[in-house]
Amino acid sequence: MSSTLKGSIMVVVAGIAWGISGVSGQYLMSHGIPINLLTSLRLFISGLVLTALILLTQRQRFFQALKSKHLWLGVILFSFFGLLLNQYAYLSAIHYTNAGTATVLQYMTPVLIVVAFCLKDRSLPTIGDSLAIFLAVLGTYIIATHGQVTNLAITPKGLFWGILSAFTYALYILIPAKLIKEWGSLIVIGLGMMISGIFFPIAVKAWQYPFSLTWGNGLALFGIVGVGTIFAYTVFLKGTTIIGAVKGSLLASVEPVASVIFGILIMHEHFYLIDLVGMTLIMLAVFLISYKDLIAEKRATIKKV
């Protein structure tokens, strides 16, 4: 097996694992686990495991990072405005809609990033970017209304949290970008999860919420934390080091498809044809932006050669 094929398979597996994570969260909330408790467990356990992984693999660099005031400021901002807000918004979107719809709405993030950079640079989007923005807006409109302007096909809360999860996911990507280049993604994300994983449970008094540890709940908790966070993150990180971040992001777009399929198989969700049309339009928008970046990356490589 070539290294490129191996890396591609790893990224696709990570995307499927993220799909499992969303459905696992939906299962837990449908079985009485509050969002505050679920967010607390996901952040704290994931932060604990990732921090342990850092100590095992990058101990010296980790202690160097702890001495950097610049790193601490950036990680704290990332922890609260990227990780915590995104996790909470995404789980809330799942609670008020379902895993498939929430994941697709969150995947509007690349389009939002394009718009943000256009505003920052005071430049107009390219034809391809304009088409992607149009497709994303049209897809969201179709999912939200089923084509009927006066009626919402999903609850207003579901639409609000879904769009907020896309905005916060953009912050999740943009805030730590420079820090990750300097210190590596494992240290930045591990520290970020540990900070929010300690702060948020204390803030919401997570221990006051009941948690019934049945076989189903235990398996779903392993799905959202073990499979969908720790495993998916490490496998995606390894895969993208082989094939590159742009191609990795493109292949990871299998996540919404996986969420929809697992939602149908496990949660017995019902999706209408028009829902799938809206989801397809949003994924086409993501593909357009990712494909454009992939072509640009290849051209840059050719010029270097």
Q: In this predicted structure, what is the pLDDT of residue 293?
A: 64
Q: Identify the three-state secondary structure at position 213.
A: coil
Confidence class for position 90, pLDDT limits 50, 70, 90: very high
Q: Identify the three-state secondary structure at position 166.
A: helix
Rounded-to-integer distance, Cα 218 and Cα 31, Å: 12
- Please say whether the dihedral angle defined by the alpha carbons of residues 47, 21, 284 and 149, taken in this order, is positive or negative: negative
* pTM reported for the whole predicted model: 0.85
Give the contacts of 246 (CB within 8 A, at least 6 positions apart): 290, 293, 294, 297
Q: In this predicted structure, what is the pLDDT of residue 298?
A: 59
Torsion, CA 154, CA 155, CA 157, CA 159, rounded to 10: 20
Place of tokens 């971040």: 245
- Across the range 7-33, mean pLDDT stands at 90
